[in-house]
């Protein structure tokens, strides 16, 4: 199963709405994050449904709402560093880091980071993959969150947790914009997890 892709799904939203008022002070509009997630069938291959965050990122109000709500969740864990998973997780992580005034680092695929790195190879449904982080001095006072766009089977998120744990970086929580709970990815994580939107697969 490719992250962010499923067969047919219906969305449910948690923490996702906000009321906006336009300039005439009378017309109220409810901004819902799920309205900014585009479902694209048969991408990148036939039989899959891809959840595209491009409309969400394109809308300043919707993107700000999503990041504000993620930050509200993460701030409760008193994090002071956030890691983003390649590649769309970088967009989420950098926005969260800027909002919270904390540092950000990247979890990348093998061979994409300069300098010395630490790697971890993990199992996929068919084969294996390898992710890396830069081998930088460890601040043992860091409280780290890992973020991404979608949690599907949880394999990559769990690998990122294990990779940071390998170098004694404490991961206190994880979060995504979208979760596919019927794939049970949350059950693979050994830390707190939250998401803004879920798609139940029915």
Active site residues: 88, 125
Q: Which residues pair with 131 in a beta bridge?
A: 109, 120
DSSP notation for the chain: --TTEESS--EEESS-EEEEE-TTSS-EEEEEGGGG-EEEET-SSTT-EEEE-HHHHH-HHHHHHHHHHHHHHHHTTT-SEEEEETTHHHHHHHHHHHHHT-EEEEEEETT-S-SSEEEEEEEETTEEEEEEEE-----TT--EEEEEEEESSSHHHHHHHHHHHHTTPPEEEEEEEEE-GGGTGGGG-SSEEEEEEEE---
């Amino acid at each position: 199963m490719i992250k962010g892709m499923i067969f047919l799904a219906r969305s449910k939203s948690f923490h996702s709405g906000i009321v906006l008022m336009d300039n005439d002070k009378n017309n109220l509009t409810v901004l819902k994050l799920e309205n900014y997630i585009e479902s694209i069938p048969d991408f990148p291959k036939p039989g899959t449904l891809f959840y595209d965050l491009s409309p969400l990122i394109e809308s300043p109000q919707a993107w700000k709402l999503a990041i504000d709500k993620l930050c509200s969740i993460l701030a409760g864990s008193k994090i002071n560093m956030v890691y983003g998973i390649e590649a769309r997780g970088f967009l989420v992580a950098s926005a969260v880091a800027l909002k919270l005034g904390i540092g950000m680092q990247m979890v990348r695929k093998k061979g994409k980071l300069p300098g010395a790195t630490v790697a971890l190879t993990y199992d996929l449904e068919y084969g294996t993959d390898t992710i890396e982080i830069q081998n930088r001095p460890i601040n043992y006072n860091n409280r780290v969150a890992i973020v991404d766009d979608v949690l599907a089977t949880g394999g990559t998120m769990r690998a990122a947790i294990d990779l940071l744990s390998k170098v004694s970086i404490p991961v206190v929580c994880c979060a995504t914009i979208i979760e596919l709970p019927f794939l049970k990815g949350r059950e693979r994580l050994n830390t707190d997890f939250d998401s803004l939107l879920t798609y139940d697969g029915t």
